[in-house]
Amino acid sequence: MNMIEEVREQATGLTYAQAGVNIDAGEELVRRIKPLVRKTFSDRVLTDIGGFGGLFDGRFPEMKFPVLVSSTDGVGTKIKIAIEANKHDTVGQDLVNHCVNDILVCGARPLFFLDYFACGKLRVEVGESVISGFVKACAENSCALIGGETAEMPGMYSGADYDLAGTIVGVVERERMFRRENVVAGDVLIGLPSTGLHTNGFSLARRALLSRYTLESTPDMLAGEMVAEALLKVHRSYLHPILHLLETFAPGTEIHALSHITGGGIVGNTSRVLSEGLSLALNWEAWERPSIFKFIQETGLVPEEEMRRAFNLGIGLILIIPLNKAESIENALKEFGESPIRIGNVVRS
């Protein structure tokens, strides 16, 4: 700030805009997203966007013992890829679907979602694009987007940087919850394919790839697909195939547990639903890994053990089921359009 600017500021008084926060931009973003967000509303949403809190009808007369299930998460440094590629409509979908899967493995179906969007300088078009991703995924998961926060914080974030977090709330009948106590030695592990990295391992992926390739590169190993496209594939939701199964197969007796494969990989996440004395016997050759994982490993010279810890390696959700139900559940998944893969068993440690 030069001397003339200092004198002018002292004469007129310091404003929020001069400090780097544009209230008008925030109001314009809310104006744009209101009609989008309302598309996710059901009759149970009792307030519009813009209030101090989101209101949701909490009556569940069809349930005997409803249990609310909640989860909060982010999408990590995948956002850096979105910013560098200037493609912002998928990371919102990633966040919603990730949260949906996290409560799904408890047995819950989603009710409502709240988002947090933080940036250094609010660019309305970027915010609108991100939130349109929230809206798309919420609609696909029958989940209402009932509120959120947009925070413009100069000094905390620089340039075009922004960050996201989301909270989801769902409900499950108590007797239909998945419990680790149901898992026993001999249970079969059935994996459902991922669409790619989903939302984990991006710090390692960026370090491995972006010192040698640009996001616009189309390496042979990706069959001509741009690096950005491969990395930004949307973290899929498993809600609908699992709800389809639960119409026929009972949680607890016919489906023992589910595991969402996020940071920590297949072993780290699936071990969370095992009781003491049990472990996993995995056949790592049972499925063909998507090319993006081979590309990361070979380009970055990443050890196999590190690949298994950091990435889902092509398996996004695992069902743990009794052996005598494996074939019928696999068939039901195939009828729904899924490609189930039998990847191992639960064994005694």
Supply the range of the domain harboring residue 126: 3-176
Q: Scanning the structure block, which residue is given the tokens 């990847």?
A: 343
205 and 124 belong to one structural domain: no
Q: Note the pLDDT tens digit of each residue in 227-283.
A: 999 999 999 999 999 999 999 999 999 999 999 999 999 999 999 999 999 999 999
Residue 74's alpha-carbon distances to 131, 254, 327, in angstroms, are 14, 32, 35
- Listing DSSP states for 253-316 in one string gives TTB-EEEE--TTHHHHHHGGG--TTEEEEE-TTSSPPPHHHHHHHHHHT--HHHHHHH--TTEE
Mean pLDDT of the chain: 94
148 and 217 belong to one structural domain: no
CA–CA dist 23, 119 (Å, integer): 13
227 and 318 belong to one structural domain: yes
- Report the Cα–Cα distance between both ends of the chain, in Å, rounded: 66
Q: In what order do the strands lie in the sheet with 188-193?
A: 257-260, 315-321, 188-193, 341-348, 278-282
The total number of structural domains in the chain stands at 2
Residue 109 burial (CB count, 10 A): 18
30 and 112 belong to one structural domain: yes
Distance of CA 20 to the CA centre of its chain: 31
Q: What pairs with residue 152 in β-bridges?
A: 119
Q: Note the pLDDT tens digit of each residue in 20-61.
A: 888 888 888 888 889 889 999 999 999 998 889 999 999 999
Q: What pairs with residue 125 in β-bridges?
A: none
SS3 of residue 111 by DSSP: strand
Is the predicted pLDDT of residue 116 greater than 50, yes or no?
yes
125 and 224 belong to one structural domain: no
49 and 84 belong to one structural domain: yes
CATH number at residue 12: 3.30.1330.10
CA–CA dist 182, 50 (Å, integer): 44
116 and 20 belong to one structural domain: yes
142 and 235 belong to one structural domain: no
Beta strands, E only, 25-161: 66-73, 109-119, 144-152
Question: Quick check: 210 and 77 in contact, CB under 8 A?
Answer: no
